[in-house]
Amino acid sequence: MIALAVDRLAHQFGGLRALDDVSLQVAAGERLVILGPNGAGKTTLFNLVTGLLRPTAGQIRLFEQDVTALAPYRRARLGLGRTFQITTLFPRLTVLDNVLLAVQGADGARFTLHRPLASFPRIYTQAESLLATWGLTDRRDVPAQRLSYGEQRQVELLLALAGSPRVLLLDEPTAGLSPAETALVAAMVRRFPRDLTLLLIEHDMDVALELAERVVVLHQGRVLAEGDRDQIRRDARVAEIYLGEPDAEDAAR
């Protein structure tokens, strides 16, 4: 079953074509990494898929359902989750409050006005359990903006997971992290449920090729190459766009 399909997707703003005629398909449970130099259109693709941007052409399908015209929150409720390249937490709220909001977002009680949140123990239980599973319980009362950058990236992942998504878009989860922090985040991603479909934007080729089976390379808003790890490693065009070097893997380091 195809979890996510993008059909001839395009986005144009003024004279700028951020994305042009991009098509790709991701099977359920598959791990796909999107590579490409800066400005290739990777984040634009994510913004279009999550609904934060409207495409100027093309279609987006989530589990065979056409979501092209749906608002972001509707797509989220259909099982689409996302992390952002720039950490998008609730800065002044504690880690626990951050996760509570994320869990609440996926819960039917999200619009209740007349009862306190405390009267929904299931939301608290789920939030605490999430924190425990991913080892952040001792940081639960710290305001998000006071966390270390690596911890913030972890919470960013946690918020995306809280809604039990079926498809998860990770936008450069290891950007700006030290090698140790990168390993931590990579380990976290490897522990994700196996049936979770994953789309990953990564700059770090090592991490990317370690976590994903299939690769799509974007360049100037178009799909340049597609294939498995080895195919992409050997692709001369990919090597060229990264630094003009014959070996793509060395070039991207």
Partner 1 sequence: MTRTLGVVASAIALAGLPLALTSYQLGLLTKMLIFAVFAMSLNLILGYAGLPSLGHAAYFGMGAYTVGLLALRATDNFWLDFGAGVLAAGITAALFGLLALRTQGSYLLMITLALAQVVWGIAFGWRGFTGGDDGLPGIRRPAAGLPVSLDDGMRFYYFALLVFTAVTVVLLVLIRSPFGRALVGIRECERRMEVLGYDTWRYKYVAFVIAGVLAGVAGNLFVYFNGFVSPAYLSILFSATALIMVILGGAGTLVGPALGSAVIIFLENVVSAHTERWPLVLGAIYVALVLFAPDGLVGLARRLAARAAPAPGRPA
Which of residues 136 and 205 has its CB atom nearest to partner 1 in the complex?
Answer: 136
**DSSP H helical segments within 51-174, as ranges?**
72-77, 95-105, 121-133, 149-162
CA 150 – CA 202 distance, rounded (Å): 16
List the one residue from 24, 45, 159, 201 that touches partner 1 (CB under 8 A): 159
**Cα 184 from Cα 124, distance rounded (Å):** 26
CB of 101 to partner 1, least distance (A): 5
**Per CB under 8 A, 187 contacts partner 1:** no
94-114 residues labelled b (16+ CB within 10 A) or e (exposed): bbbbbbbbbbbebbeeeeeee
Residues 140 and 42: their CA atoms lie apart, in Å, by 32
Residue 73 interacting with partner 1 (CB under 8 A): yes
Which of 27/71 has CB closer to partner 1?
71
Name the one range near partner 1 by CB under 8 A: 1-9, 158-166, 180-188, 236-244: 158-166
Query: In terms of CB distance, is 110 or 234 closer to partner 1?
Result: 110
- Compute the least distance from the CB of residue 208 to partner 1, in Å: 22
Residues 190 to 249: which contact partner 1 by CB under 8 A? none
Nearest of 53, 59, 63, 54 to residue 26 by alpha carbon = 63
The answer to the question of residue 118 lying near partner 1 (CB under 8 A) is: yes
What per-residue string of b and e applies to 54-77 under the rule 16 or more CB within 10 Å gives b?
ebeebebbbbeeebbebebeebbe
Taking CB under 8 A as the binding criterion, the range among 5-13, 127-135, 157-165, 193-201 that sits at the site for partner 1 is 157-165
Rounded CA separation 99/64 (Å):
30
Binding partner 1 by CB under 8 A: which of 1, 14, 114, 138? 114
If one asks whether residue 71 binds partner 1 (CB under 8 A), the answer comes out as: yes
Asked if residue 189 binds partner 1 (CB under 8 A), the reply is: no
**Contact pick of 39, 72, 150, 176 for partner 1 (by CB under 8 A):** 72
158 closest CA partner among 202, 116, 214, 95:
95
Which of these ranges, 27-35, 89-97, 131-139, 194-202, lies near partner 1 under the rule CB under 8 A?
89-97
State the nearest-atom distance from the C-beta of 156 to partner 1, in Å. 9
Taking residue 7's Cβ as centre, other Cβ atoms within 10 Å add up to 17
- Residues forming contacts to partner 1 in the complex (CB under 8 A) are 50, 52, 71-73, 76-77, 80-82, 84, 88-93, 97, 100-102, 104-107, 109-118, 120, 159, 162-163
